[in-house]
Amino acid sequence: MTEAALERPDGPQSPARPAKPPPSPLLIGGVLGAVAVTGVAGWAIDFTLTPVIEQWSTLTMILEEVVHPEWAEITDPASRLWTALMETAAIAVIATFVGSLIALGVALLGSKVSAPPGVYRVTKSLMSVIRSLPDMAYALVFVAVVTGPLPGILALTIFNVGIVAKLTAESIDAVDHGPLEALDAAGATRWQRARVAIVPQVLPSYASYVLYVFELNIRASVVLGAVGAGGVGQLIMLYFNRADYPRLAAVVIVIFAAVIAIDLLSQALRRRLV
């Protein structure tokens, strides 16, 4: 096809091709801002990737050890690993149960659908303060009172209340108002409205949030152990400090398998719920 064939006689059907709009100043500003922030952040933490090349032998050595774990740690049901893992599971179960129960109440106080305006504003800002502290900080404070699994349970419970209450409150904000109006017309109290019209509507999504935090808890309890709040994290720090890589590798493999198994299980359950 030649150029001439593509050209069409002038007329109203052949307007000039519209020009591409120039990028908006906001976009340019945003990109420049992101680049600037990245530059400053990289400078602040001395960004470098040279160790990846220089320490390549360290990396291969680590990988070598990870693929040759201490199998006895995994196969022996009486090993420290399984004891710690059971402890982690128990901590996660208790924290999820208690945290989710409290969270349902807090969520009802934290939505404008179910609580008076003053109450819901105060609850909301309180929750955002509680959420902004890492679970680690709670664990560190609680460990000062008593060591062992108890501070871990309490720290995770608070963490769970924060997440489940926020998500559930958002679901409550979005409930169908029909049943609520019907109850209001019949003169229901706040408690009756919550029990009859709100909770049944949000129950499926609430249940799926609970499963979601249960997944998070397994991961988080690994972290909490690192500050002495019990469970498998404590074991990881022990083996790390002893540089016992084969045992550490065994722990990592089991945690990896457990997290994937629980993910799959809770995904299947959640698919049924929602």
- Residues near other proteins (CB under 8 A) are 24-26, 30, 37-38, 40-42, 44-48, 51-52, 55, 58-59, 62, 66, 86-87, 89-91, 93-94, 97, 128-129, 132-137, 140-146, 148-150, 153-154, 219, 222-223, 226-227, 230, 233, 236-237, 240, 248-249, 252, 255-256, 259-260, 263
Q: CA–CA separation, 139 vs 141, rounded Å?
A: 5
Cα 175 to Cα 201: distance, rounded to the nearest angstrom: 7
Give the burial string for 87-110 (b: 16+ CB within 10 Å, else e): bbbebbebbbebbbebbbebbbbb
Query: Locate tokens 């179910």: which residue?
Result: 114
Least distance from C-beta 272 to other proteins, angstroms?
14
Nearer CB in complex with other proteins: 68/177: 68
Q: Which is nearer to other proteins, 9 or 26 (CB)?
A: 26
Nearest distance in Å: CB 34, other proteins: 9
C-beta closer to other proteins: residue 4 or 145: 145
Q: Judged by CB, which is closer to other proteins: 120, or 159?
A: 159
- Residue 172 CB, shortest distance to other proteins, in Å, is 20
**147-151 — which CB contacts under 8 Å span 24+ positions?**
147/228, 147/229, 147/230, 148/229, 148/230, 149/87, 149/90, 149/91, 149/229, 149/230, 149/231, 150/230, 151/228, 151/229, 151/230
For the bound state, the minimum distance from the C-beta of residue 103 to other proteins, rounded and expressed in Å, comes to 15
Whole-number minimum distance, CB 20 to other proteins, in Å? 12
Angle at 267 between CA 264 and CA 272, to 5 degrees: 130
